[in-house]
Chains A and B, each alone.
Chain A
């Protein structure tokens, strides 16, 4: 009897300790980023171009480069994801092809980001001969976040009760009319949520874009589709490799904080959008 009680209390304390440990990791990571980052951030840092390979100057071109890339990523992936979700929900009826579509989407979701990077390097940069280009980076990022958007849009299209579809069909609407007036608005809500979450992930990715879309320094705002840009995550990479230089390291923390703020901004707005649509 007594040993049962002892085991129980040991267990409870072990569980409590693991939680405290995880909470400690969380506090340590965010504390470090905020503490180290805020020392580096100033108005000049956010608005001046990079000097001396990142050890001096600011990161304005990295910020604009990252934003430009994810904006394009959003424009590319949104319509494709919406269409895929509607097709999966409304046109695929037999379980076997539904299963196949799911497997496809989940496998795409599982592909490691570095694989997208080398795929882009071979297919776009070498075979199609685009060279290092921000636009190619956007295409690759769009491929990467596609499953997130598709799943989110699919869930909301699929959550429309069948009775809506049946009533609309009974009114004599064509199938596409039903989709465009009843299902599409719902699907768009889901796709927006997925898009914000996907973008929060895409903006922090380094591996897919480092060979194909970015140059480390001396890059201005691009004027054509086929130019490299600088981006926040690849900038952190190049600064991290000069970690022995304290000035470079400090700017790496500053860049990290800007990046984390952007990620948190996109993911919380995704969360808020989801909550708002759920209430409706």
Chain B
């Protein structure tokens, strides 16, 4: 009897892990299978600038550019701000307050992205419109700004943990040398926490690439690279916002649909590579100090 339950038990846990494995493989196969049509029909024309469904032109470069620039803006804003805030919560805040303050900041991560989008169109877009006298406040900059706020809690939490995990004797030794707080942080703490900070940024990067709802609502959804290309006060389109806006209206099995899935595949592959790197960054964390 107990042999039987043992067998059932083992096959249950085995089935579970097989299901988990199948899920990710299936996602990949489905994406590859459905983007094949676009790749074989259009070939290198996929990497062109014009996206015009009626004439059969499906160039994805504008969307790739949009994803790249929005993510870049978000990281440029959020990384320095996040690291500085983490330095404050970990090194300057009284240790009793650290956990409550951190938990409050983590609440930001819990707000669903659609609500960020709502706040984006109700406030940020209008502020930007008034500030720069634009026709519409739904621009690449608005999306980047919103995205920066969304990835901020990830960076703060992880960098704060990294700094907090450094044993106290490093600080004490540096203090004993008569260094100022700034010098301790810059010369002792940040170099030790470097690998973890790198991992945190990669994680935030992955999240920013895949964010859909908030970006879709505020970016303006125009499939063009602005001219000049660094004019971030004009509307744009990211891979995710394109997918979110258009895929439901595209008929399954057409080249149009397939080109959309091809963009999804590119996104999936990018995020997959970033995940692998961030996992490696976490593993390489040298435990010199233990």
Residues of A within 8 A of B (CB): 4-5, 7-8, 11-12, 14-16, 18-19, 21-23, 25-26, 29-30, 32-33, 79-84, 86-88, 90-91, 101-119, 121-123, 126, 143, 146, 150, 174-177, 179-180, 200-201, 203-207, 210-211, 233, 236-237, 240-241, 243, 249, 252-253, 256, 259-260, 263-264, 267, 271
A-B pairs, top 9 by smallest CB distance, nearest first, are A112-B210, A83-B16, A204-B112, A176-B6, A18-B84, A110-B275, A8-B180, A176-B9, A19-B88
CB-based nearest B residue for A33: B115
Specify which chain A residues have a CB less than 8 angstroms from the CB of B87 in the assembled complex: 15
Check B27–A119 contact: CB distance below 8 A. yes
Alpha-carbon distance between A237 and B248 when the two chains are bound, in angstroms: 15
Specify which chain A residues have a CB less than 8 angstroms from the CB of B248 in the assembled complex: 121, 210-211
Specify which chain A residues have a CB less than 8 angstroms from the CB of B220 in the assembled complex: none
Specify which chain A residues have a CB less than 8 angstroms from the CB of B24 in the assembled complex: 104, 107-108, 111
> Among B54-62, B102-110, B166-174, which stretch is in contact with chain A?
B102-110
Per-position 1/0 for B62-86, Cβ under 8 A of A: 0000000000000000001100110
CB-based nearest B residue for A197: B110
- Known A-B contacts: A90-B13, A106-B275. Give 13 more (CB < 8 A): A29-B111, A81-B16, A101-B17, A104-B24, A105-B20, A108-B20, A108-B24, A111-B272, A118-B260, A118-B264, A210-B244, A240-B217, A243-B122
B130 at interface by CB-CB < 8 Å: no
Specify which chain B residues have a CB less than 8 angstroms from the CB of A86 in the assembled complex: 13, 16
Alpha-carbon distance between A116 and B10 when the two chains are bound, in angstroms: 29
Specify which chain B residues have a CB less than 8 angstroms from the CB of A18 in the assembled complex: 80-81, 84-85, 88
| Min CB gap A96→B, angstroms | 14
Inter-chain contact total with CB atoms closer than 8 Å: 242
Residues of B within 8 A of A (CB): 2-3, 5-7, 9-10, 12-17, 19-21, 23-24, 26-27, 30-31, 34, 80-81, 84-85, 87-89, 92, 103-105, 107-108, 110-115, 117-119, 121-123, 149, 152, 156, 180-183, 185, 206, 209-213, 217, 240, 243-244, 247-248, 252, 260-261, 264, 267-268, 271-272, 274-276, 279
Q: Which of B6, B84, B213, B264 contacts A206 (CB 8 A)?
A: B213
Check B20–A8 contact: CB distance below 8 A. no
Check B31–A176 contact: CB distance below 8 A. no
17 contacts between A and B (CB under 8 A): A18-B88, A29-B119, A33-B115, A80-B16, A84-B20, A91-B10, A101-B17, A112-B209, A112-B240, A112-B271, A174-B3, A175-B10, A205-B112, A233-B112, A237-B114, A252-B118, A259-B115
Check B2–A174 contact: CB distance below 8 A. yes
Interface-central residue, B7, B12, B118, B185, by most chain A CB under 10 Å? B118
CB-CB under 8 A for A243 and B182, given A101-B17, A146-B20: no
| Min CB gap B184→A, angstroms | 10
Check A240–B121 contact: CB distance below 8 A. yes
Check B105–A177 contact: CB distance below 8 A. no
CB-based nearest B residue for A108: B24
A interface: dominant SS = helix
Q: Which of B117, B185, B267 contacts A115 (CB 8 A)?
A: B267
Specify which chain A residues have a CB less than 8 angstroms from the CB of B276 in the assembled complex: 103, 107
Alpha-carbon distance between A121 and B232 when the two chains are bound, in angstroms: 33
Specify which chain A residues have a CB less than 8 angstroms from the CB of B108 in the assembled complex: 25-26, 29
Check A30–B121 contact: CB distance below 8 A. no
| Min CB gap A13→B, angstroms | 11
| Min CB gap B257→A, angstroms | 9
CB-based nearest A residue for B80: A18
Check A263–B111 contact: CB distance below 8 A. yes
Check A114–B122 contact: CB distance below 8 A. no
Specify which chain B residues have a CB less than 8 angstroms from the CB of A109 in the assembled complex: 275
CB-based nearest B residue for A143: B23
Check B212–A112 contact: CB distance below 8 A. yes
Specify which chain A residues have a CB less than 8 angstroms from the CB of B92 in the assembled complex: 12, 15-16
Check B9–A115 contact: CB distance below 8 A. no
Specify which chain A residues have a CB less than 8 angstroms from the CB of B152 in the assembled complex: 22, 25
Check A104–B117 contact: CB distance below 8 A. no
| Min CB gap A22→B, angstroms | 5
Specify which chain A residues have a CB less than 8 angstroms from the CB of B21 in the assembled complex: 104
Check A119–B19 contact: CB distance below 8 A. no
Check A119–B31 contact: CB distance below 8 A. yes
| Min CB gap A117→B, angstroms | 8
Alpha-carbon distance between A32 and B213 when the two chains are bound, in angstroms: 19
Q: Which of B114, B121, B261 contacts A233 (CB 8 A)?
A: B114
| Min CB gap A100→B, angstroms | 9
| Min CB gap A169→B, angstroms | 13
Alpha-carbon distance between A33 and B114 when the two chains are bound, in angstroms: 12
Alpha-carbon distance between A243 and B117 when the two chains are bound, in angstroms: 12
Check A22–B112 contact: CB distance below 8 A. no
Alpha-carbon distance between A207 and B115 when the two chains are bound, in angstroms: 13
CB-based nearest A residue for B186: A11
Check B6–A175 contact: CB distance below 8 A. yes
CB-CB under 8 A for A83 and B122, given A5-B180, A111-B27, A115-B27: no
| Min CB gap B101→A, angstroms | 8
Specify which chain A residues have a CB less than 8 angstroms from the CB of B2 in the assembled complex: 174, 176-177
Specify which chain B residues have a CB less than 8 angstroms from the CB of A115 in the assembled complex: 27, 31, 210, 264, 267-268
